Amino acid sequence: MNFNKGILLVLVGAGCFGFTPVFAKLGFSYGFSLGQITIVQMLISFLLL
């Protein structure tokens, strides 16, 4: 059971990592800095996991 949970968490993490360019492009287009984008992305990932 733990092995399947680990696989699921890795897949969710990889999926979130795939959204990095989307977050960066949208964030920069709205005038946010790199630090602000990083903090928001970390908070969203924390809430999802």
Average pLDDT, the chain: 85
Q: Which range among 8-12, 17-21, 25-29 shows the weakest confidence by mean pLDDT?
A: 17-21
Chain-centroid distance of CA 18 in Å reads 8
User: What percent of the chain stands above pLDDT 70?
Assistant: 96
The total number of residues shown for the chain amounts to 49
Ranges of each domain in the chain = 2-48
Query: Is residue 1 pLDDT above 80, yes or no?
Result: no
Query: Is residue 22 pLDDT above 80, yes or no?
Result: yes
Q: Distance between CA 7 and CA 48 in Å, rounded?
A: 16
